[in-house]
Structure 1
């Protein structure tokens, strides 16, 4: 499959999350999210089966070994109320090996090959639904969230997804993903820290992403 490469736009992603929280607070002055849910619109209703098909035709459920409905990729952001769902997120790619790695000045990896370095530092993810609202829910997952490492165009990519999550209520929600690393990691694909590196600790990896839950068909 064609992977989605998450370039480390950590500061822009964090800014987006902060703006989302701020926006939620402003909206609360007009409509209290504790008592109101955005109505279900006439968006694409999820298919009856659980298969999430990527733009290149790959069945992500088969590729990642997931039986539940996947939410995350642009074509897979709807589910039915009552369904457990799995949050997938952009993959992380690195240089193929340490001999061909190109790092920012001053950075030294812990392990020679960049993907090995990433895996050794990856501690897990945290998935937050409805960040900054009274409906906020958070679930934390460990290293098992790294589902598969597969090559594409000569580079290895780590594919990430949560364990199954409980269903959300009918309507529109947001989903934000945080990543945790034990130490700073750079991918070996270039010298720019803002593009090629991830920081130590917990940081916003992707989101907020709008997702929708629909009442099941009668």
Structure 2
């Protein structure tokens, strides 16, 4: 016998389960209660086309900023932590996915304060966490930032590895090695075989990422980005 689930229960589950994904289009002006005093502040941003300089205004507060020689697109209002009284404003810049950036500001009732800068605002769930994606040629590097409200700062949460999860075919045989510090081969990947790129390691001194690869025979080993770029069918895109 098939059990019927009430429509209201399903709807309620979906409302609680669905992430609050940041998807608003940037605008030049809007209004919102950023400091939780019950009164909305007028929010606006001004810039000249092709100029990386901008002027952000919230109420009577003014901030002059620079977007690292990329174009300004506008602002959006977000709520990083639904458990506190504040909301935040994000300035969006960049021409492409590779140079996109969002600088996030808080307003304490008197002045604007920079909380931090992320690449893309991929998910803002209201749980004091921002998830941000950076395009890496054939995969998105997802990073987590945690809000420290006392310090008024977004802090990057370090990861040893980044998940990739992309399958491809080998065009030319190449070895995968034991570790990032041990070049002894684990296996030589066979031409035309399928491999799964599981994870990436991007150290501060690395000129290119290391990738953890699973062979068609179930063996794990590491390889450099140049081998994946030159010897596999990965769909690289800038």
TM bracket (short chain): under 0.3
Report the TM-score, using the length of structure 1 for normalisation.
Answer: 0.22
Greater relative contact order (CA < 8 Å, ≥ 6 in sequence): 1
Answer 1 or 2: which has greater strand percent: 2
Answer 1 or 2: which has greater helix percent: 1
Which structure: larger Rg? 2
